[in-house]
Amino acid sequence: MRSEQEIRKALNRYADTVTRLCMLHLHNKQDAEDIFQTVFMKYMHFDGQFENDEHEKAWFIRVTINACKDLHRSFFHSRTVSLDAIKDCISPIHDDYREVLEAVLQLPKKYRQVIYLHYYEDRTVPQIAQLLGKNQNTIYTQLKRAKEMLKKKLGGIADEENHS
Amino acid sequence: MKKTIHNAFDNVHTSQSLKDSTMNFLAQQKTSPVQKNTAVLRQLTAACLTFILLVSGLTTLYFIPVSAIHIDTDPASANLKINCFNRVVGIDGTTKNTDLRHMKYEDAVSCMLDKNDSEDTVITVVGNEKMLAYIEANVPQNENVHCGHLSAHAAKQAERCGMSAAKYELYLTLLQNGIDITPQEAQQIPMKTLRTLLNTQTDEPIPTQPNTTVYDDCATDTSECESSLHHQNGQHHGHGH
């Protein structure tokens, strides 16, 4: 079992990663809190050694996604998410980014996570495929479709960035 | 678009309250011995339950009689109830031998015969023909000991007729040999007299070579005892002349 110091360190380092993944998958504050606590409890009981920080971060991503998937197996969970639903779990979001995040959250779940992993975590397609246990071609297709859908939703914002 | 999305996600941070509540939750999990040992406790409980079920199942199985050996020695008689492990689990009858429980049936029968000074002993095995074969091969070879076999159905019928298994077997043999006798009469007459009656009627001694008579009888009352004989294989047998 890991020490309190180790847990505090991991909490400072990976809390945001876990929260962002929870935001992509979950629909209410209670679920997000449950998953957040579950992930860090698993970390507390995990006796294995991590090769490096990257390995440790990949462990947190994988464990969080799996925990969210387990929760999603419950059929009464709705399929869409919103920022308001988990606003108590995250710090206030600047209005400039709210529209972008809402657009990402409106995507189907399988597109949300590839967008996050690719654009924010800088994961390559093979790395995402390995993390999610899926075929690389599937991830390529999902990423391509997700980008197209986001361009439609964020037309103006995306264009501004391209021009700049 | 990459920069926009990256910046948007970068703006998402965990609230301090969630971090604090998680630290409290984990500290509680760590210090609570009940929580800490829940998994071990569950496994231990499951193992104990399995063990209890196994032991109670085996104990129940041990005490269920699956066959019986009736030993009739005028005037006493004993009914040894044998379980599937070939051990004595119950004794009925008028014998004073009560220390036979949990003995192997071979030892119990030997013990009974060693203490027996009766002139006429009948051993009837109910249900298990292997036991009969063993007893036939091992009991003292003399004219006073007779062995027989009854099916479970016939044994129940004997009980309904109020006779010991050995007497019922002999009664059926008498009927088979044309001797007109009612169950009530057979009940009153001693075994030795019945055997003498059989020997007189047939004018020859009971065969010396063991063979098996199986009475598969399931009549419902004593009046049906006489008519419900179903002779399947061979005739009554015994040791001696």
Instruction: Tell me how far apart the alpha carbons of residues B89 and B62 are, in angstroms, rounded to a whole number.
Output: 8
Task: Verify whether the Cβ–Cβ distance B8 to A1 is below 8 Å.
Answer: no
Average pLDDT, chain B: 76
Strand pairing of B65-73 and B76-83? antiparallel
Residue A41 to residue B25, Cβ atoms within 8 A = yes
Q: What is the pLDDT of residue B34?
A: 57
Residue range B47-55: average pLDDT? 95
**Which segments of chain B does DSSP mark as H helices, in order?**
2-10, 16-31, 33-36, 38-62, 105-114, 129-138, 152-161, 165-176, 183-188, 191-202, 222-225
pLDDT, tens digit (0-9, with 9 covering 90-100), for A35-52 = 899 999 999 988 888 989
Q: Which residue has the higher pLDDT, B97 or B198?
A: B198
CB B110 within 8 A of CB B135: no
Judged against a pLDDT cut of 60, whether residue B228 lies above it is answered with no
**3-state SS assignment for residue B70:** strand
- B 24-83 residues inside an 8 A Cβ radius of A: 25-27, 29-30
B86-132: per-residue pLDDT in tens?
Answer: 999 988 877 666 678 888 988 888 888 777 666 678 888 888 788 88
Task: Mark yes or no for CB contact A44/B29 under 8 Å.
Answer: yes
pLDDT band at B236 (very low <50, low <70, confident <90, very high): very low
- pLDDT of amino acid A43: 93
Give chain B positions within 8 Å (CB) of A115.
Answer: 5
CA A127 to chain CA centroid, nearest Å? 15
Structure-token pair, residue A143: 């990423």
Q: Taking residues A76-102, what's their average pLDDT?
A: 69
* Cβ <8 Å between A90 and B8: no
What is the predicted pLDDT for the residue at A128? 92
